[in-house]
Amino acid sequence: MTRVIHTGDTHIGYSQYQSPVRRQDFLDAFEAVVDDAVDEGVDAVVHAGDLFHDRRPDLRDLMGTISVLRRLDDAGIPFLAVVGNHESTRDGQWLDLFERLGLATRLGDEPVVAGDTAFYGLDHVPVSRRDDLDYAFADHGARHAALVAHGLFEPFGYADWDTETVLAESDVDFDAMLLGDNHTPDTATVADTWVTYPGSTERASASERDGRGYNVVVFDADAAGGDDRVEIRRRALNTRPFVFVSVELREGEGESRVRERVREYDLADAVVHVEVTGEGEPVTPAAVEEFATDEGALIARVADRREVEADGEVDVSFADPEDAVRDRLDEMSLSTATRDVERAVRSEAIPDTNVRETVKRRVEERLDEDEDLGAFDPVSPDAADEAVDDGDAGNDLDGDAGNDLDGDAGNDLDGGEVDGGDESGGEEVNADDGEVDSGGEDAEESPAEEAADAGSASTDGQVSMEDYL
């Protein structure tokens, strides 16, 4: 019998909403999982990738992570893990460092036995490189076997990885696939093999409305009455409260009605998302956000979904703001890749709900497929600019931009995150996590939304940056 905790998509280091409190939350969630593992003396903690939110976690997060892993190690519990798309680096993985420190085991083609179960690993692999995979795993002599993998697998939302193919081509007969990447917890069977996602351990996006948790997985010949060799149970984590307030304003109603609705909720230390729909008076988001934080919320975000009466007759004849923006961008010596991102964010042709995925895809394509790293070099009109910009441009893409794109940009730009309302899970898949990793590994949107987006993508007559660049 083997009993493990299966977790993943921890996203340590994610300063969601640029909040240091949120940043700590992600590490705390990891610690909570490890606390439970130590309390219960499980045979292993299996981590299915995206321990870190980005490929360059800072020192605080690394030290915090090492402390948590050390507690696990002190308790004699192995930490078995694979590399997710968010944290993957070209020249070695953080997980290898932890392994070198004796705090983790990186799973791969060779079995790692805990209890009487052999664990194997499959790191995240971009769609473009999956044809090269042979799913060749070494033999094992254990009673059970499990494959730990990071990616969007069938039969769950946004899947782009065919689970039946993986199982059919694998040399090992797996009892279970313990997965990460899709932030929506779910369990199913494919070809008599259990496939399960534990979901993220903190909400990495406001679309992740359901409670967070992890899996307790038992491999036992007698599990579930003897018919089944695997038992998967979900356990809840106590995470940062998120409050979702939906206000449909009627004619004549305005900000005071919004406040009234917001006040109906327990806002203490919560992340509060307010969505305004319907008719009524204009509402100033910042004023409502301030009201919510005054009432105790940690963070508040207001999205006004009402149709804004766009007056197409208005012709901006003074210095066009688009011109000013373009001039300023020219001065900034941004890299080609940064320009890609900037265009995606500002383009009217890309609906807000698609921005996150579009940006993710463009950056991923350059990183993973074309290996077009030159695109991350600053492009400057003159050498002086280049000298100045060199470091920053690189840093922004790798570090901060990464954070922004992954998390906050998603949340802030979001249209889709709050309103999707599709708890079907589509949204939870991180676009950003690779969740929308190229090829939709992290697809944020439900097919329905995408369809809607496609419709709204038609131009509304406004001139976008695309027209200038």
Size of the site for Mn ion (CB under 5 A): 4
Residue with smaller CB distance to Mn ion, 378 or 407: 407
Q: Is 50 annotated as a binding residue?
A: yes
Under rule CB under 5 A, residue 368 binds Mn ion: no
Under rule CB under 5 A, residue 54 binds Mn ion: no
Residue with smaller CB distance to Mn ion, 187 or 430: 430
Q: How far is the CB of 342 from Mn ion (least distance, A)?
A: 25
Burial of 38 (0-12, 13-18, 19+ CB in 10 A): middle
Taken in order 50, 53, 58, 63, is the CA torsion positive or negative? negative
Which listed range, 50-58, 136-144, 158-166, 265-273, lies at the site for Mn ion (CB under 5 A)?
A: 50-58
Q: Is 9 annotated as a binding residue?
A: yes
Q: Is 85 annotated as a binding residue?
A: yes
Residue with smaller CB distance to Mn ion, 275 or 435: 435
Under rule CB under 5 A, residue 50 binds Mn ion: yes
Which listed range, 31-39, 46-54, 125-133, 330-338, lies at the site for Mn ion (CB under 5 A)?
A: 46-54
Residue with smaller CB distance to Mn ion, 144 or 203: 203
Q: How far is the CB of 462 from Mn ion (least distance, A)?
A: 34
Residue with smaller CB distance to Mn ion, 150 or 257: 150
Q: How far is the CB of 100 from Mn ion (least distance, A)?
A: 24
Q: Is 304 annotated as a binding residue?
A: no
Q: How far is the CB of 347 from Mn ion (least distance, A)?
A: 26
Which listed range, 156-164, 288-296, 333-341, 433-441, lies at the site for Mn ion (CB under 5 A)?
A: 433-441
Under rule CB under 5 A, residue 433 binds Mn ion: yes
Which listed range, 45-53, 219-227, 361-369, 453-461, lies at the site for Mn ion (CB under 5 A)?
A: 45-53
Q: Point out the residue whose Cβ comes nearest to Mn ion.
A: 433
* Active-site residue (options: 6, 53, 86, 144): 86
Q: How far is the CB of 381 from Mn ion (least distance, A)?
A: 38
Q: What is d(CA 319, CA 328) in angstroms, rounded to the nearest whole number? A: 13
Under rule CB under 5 A, residue 430 binds Mn ion: yes
Which listed range, 3-11, 12-20, 233-241, 461-469, lies at the site for Mn ion (CB under 5 A)?
A: 3-11
Under rule CB under 5 A, residue 9 binds Mn ion: yes
Under rule CB under 5 A, residue 445 binds Mn ion: no
Residue with smaller CB distance to Mn ion, 137 or 156: 156
Per the listing, tokens 């194997």 go with 120
Q: How far is the CB of 10 from Mn ion (least distance, A)?
A: 8
Q: What is d(CA 252, CA 282) in angstroms, rounded to the nearest whole number? A: 10
Q: How far is the CB of 84 from Mn ion (least distance, A)?
A: 6
Q: Known catalytic residue: 86?
A: yes
Question: Residues annotated in the binding site, as ranges?
Answer: 9, 11, 50, 85, 150, 183
Annotated binding-site residue numbers for Mn(2+) = 9, 11, 50, 85, 150, 183
Chain positions contacting Mn ion, by CB under 5 A: 9, 50, 430, 433
Q: Which residues are catalytic?
A: 86
